[in-house]
């Protein structure tokens, strides 16, 4: 994993080891019976290519796969996480016991195709706001057990992480507000529960926006609100919180609404990790 792309995600390294252990367990089970067609003493070399342009991600998961499966396998890298890879280019080469290469192939490629797909999608979103003071953020809409992996891939594509889970930041929504007795009460209670944690409030109306602004929340999430109306409502007012656009936002919407983003500093996009499209990869034995 390259340091320039390694985010400060607590537990990431342990998560990688667990991701791989789980993947190998479900795939290999009691043993790869097809690989036993190959003599145990046979060695081989293999090349992994991408069949399409992509932003590569997943190096640490590949290394962990063969570390757990067979330390005799060596890997020669042609690309680092976060780098552009052209269609039909070689991502990495493997050499070692042929059985191990064949057994680890699908586990390693599953991680790379998923994480590279997320990084590639994230790069398209990041491109939309490259000239604007706006961060594109992921959400908690991740595959169970792969949250840190997916959030890491988002950063490799040039986007950013929202909160990691329910523990590192408050996100006060409609039901929280109702239970607490109002926006101001919810924010005050959050400051008491965890004084150092960021406090974000989701609003759906201009009245709720006003309440959130006076509550001194750190971040206000505008859930499917009309930005033209929001901008008119805020004209000439001092805004002491970051405003975040949310609610089914996609690339087309971002492209069409750039002129309305003057008060927006954050856009959260669930599709970064929820609508995953894998990159098409291939491994071929070359010797």
Residues tagged active-site = 106, 141, 173, 202, 223
Is residue 45 part of an annotated ligand binding site? no
Is residue 271 part of an annotated ligand binding site? yes
Is residue 47 part of an annotated ligand binding site? no
Sign of the alpha-carbon dihedral angle for 269, 274, 279, 284: positive
Contact 85/54 with Cβ under 8 angstroms? Answer: yes
DSSP secondary structure letters along 69-137: H-TT-EEEES--TT-EE-TT-EEEEEEEEHHHHHHHHHHHHHHHHHHHHHHHHHHHHHHHTTTTT-EEE
CA–CA distance, 244 with 206 (Å, rounded to integer): 14
Is residue 269 part of an annotated ligand binding site? yes
Is residue 165 part of an annotated ligand binding site? no
Is residue 173 part of an annotated ligand binding site? yes
End-to-end CA separation in angstroms for the chain: 27
Is residue 249 part of an annotated ligand binding site? no
Is residue 163 part of an annotated ligand binding site? yes
Is residue 96 part of an annotated ligand binding site? no
For residue 15, the tally of other CB atoms under 10 A from its CB is 17
Annotated binding site for substrate: 106, 139-141, 163, 173, 202, 223, 246-248, 269-271
Q: Annotated binding site, which residues? A: 106, 139-141, 163, 173, 202, 223, 246-248, 269-271
């Amino acid at each position: 994993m390259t340091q320039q792309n390694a985010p400060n995600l607590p537990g990431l390294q342990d998560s990688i080891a667990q991701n791989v252990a789980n993947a190998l367990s479900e795939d290999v089970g009691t043993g790869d019976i097809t690989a036993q067609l190959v003599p145990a003493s046979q060695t081989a070399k293999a090349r992994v290519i991408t069949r399409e342009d992509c932003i590569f991600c997943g190096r640490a998961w590949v290394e962990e796969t063969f570390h757990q499966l067979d330390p005799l396998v060596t890997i020669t890298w042609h690309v680092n996480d976060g780098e552009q890879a052209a269609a039909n280019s070689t991502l990495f080469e493997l050499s070692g016991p042929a059985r191990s290469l064949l057994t680890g192939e699908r586990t390693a490629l599953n991680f790379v195709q998923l994480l590279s797909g997320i990084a590639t999608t994230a790069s398209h979103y990041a491109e939309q706001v490259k000239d604007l003071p706006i961060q594109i953020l992921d959400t908690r809409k991740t595959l169970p057990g792969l949250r840190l992996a997916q959030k890491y891939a988002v950063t490799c594509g040039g986007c950013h992480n929202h909160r990691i889970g329910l523990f590192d930041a408050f996100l006060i929504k409609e039901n929280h507000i109702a239970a607490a007795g109002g926006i101001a009460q919810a924010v005050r209670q959050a400051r008491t529960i965890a004084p150092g944690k960021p406090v974000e409030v989701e609003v759906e109306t201009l009245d709720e926006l006003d309440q959130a602004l006076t509550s001194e929340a750190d971040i206000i999430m505008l859930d499917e609100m009309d930005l033209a109306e929001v901008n008119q409502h805020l004209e000439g007012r001092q805004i002491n919180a970051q405003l975040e656009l949310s609610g089914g936002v996609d690339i087309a919407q971002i492209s069409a609404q750039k002129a309305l983003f003057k008060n927006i500093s954050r856009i959260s996009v669930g599709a970064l990790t929820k609508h995953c499209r894998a990159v098409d990869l291939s491994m071929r034995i070359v010797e």
